[in-house]
Amino acid sequence: MQPATAIVTFASTNQNKFREVESILAMRGIQASFAKIELVEIQSDSLEEIAREKAKSAYARVQKPVIVEDDGLFVDALGGFPGQYSSYVFKTIGNAGVLKLLEGKQDRLASFRSLVAFFDGNNLQLFEGKVQGRISEKITEGGWGYDPIFAPEGADVTFAELADKKNDYSHRKKALEKFAEWQLLIQNRT
């Protein structure tokens, strides 16, 4: 592991996300601090637009270089649903509801997308990470959010069952790796 050289604030209300972000960025020598703040989420069909607006409102609050993240679970057999409505769907029907919608369906393919948006008052950058996988037949133990029902390609088990190994596969890791590469490039230029 390299020593931490850059510092960035991660703004979210989700402590679980922050734990993952902190550990992924630390591996790349970037120290993340947590701003636990509620951010206004605009209504839009585009994860990109939501992430961009969230980054601007986070910067207005913390006044420091900041990253925010927006995710979506896209289930093939449901035409990409819940997608940008993942948060609402989780709060309303939850994992049990998603499994119910898939009852009797052979096609369990799905993907998880992460959009990380960085803003420092001038520069706004987006980084995307995507992982293919499938929706499990049952709700497994552990994890958070959709972790108990999403199994990434290459693992026979869900994110929840992967526990500490989740970061080896996750959409979040892929997006943050791109961010870290860009951040370190910028830093070496200055």
Enter the tokens of residue 17: 């996300």
* Distances, alpha carbon 75 to alpha carbons 29, 78, 79, 105, 111, in Å: 34, 5, 7, 12, 7
Of 54, 173, 67, nearest in space to 112 by CA: 173
Report if residue 23 touches ligand IMP, rule: CB under 6 A: no
Question: Minimum CB separation from ligand IMP for residue 2, in Å?
Answer: 25
Residue 168 a catalytic site member: no
How many C-beta atoms surround the C-beta of residue 127 within 10 A?
22
Question: Minimum CB separation from ligand IMP for residue 72, in Å?
Answer: 6
Residue 103: what are its φ and ψ, rounded to 5°? Answer: -55, 130
Residue with Cβ nearer ligand IMP (127 or 145):
145
Residue with Cβ nearer ligand IMP (71 or 161):
71
Site string (133-172) toward ligand IMP, x via CB under 6 A:
-----------xxxx-----------x----------x-x
CA distance 87 to 83: 9
Site string (58-97) toward ligand IMP, x via CB under 6 A:
-----------xxx-x------------xx--x-------
CA distance 73 to 160: 15
Q: Would you name the residues annotated as active-site residues?
A: 70
Enumerate binding residues for ligand IMP (CB under 6 A): 69-71, 73, 86-87, 90, 144-147, 159, 170, 172
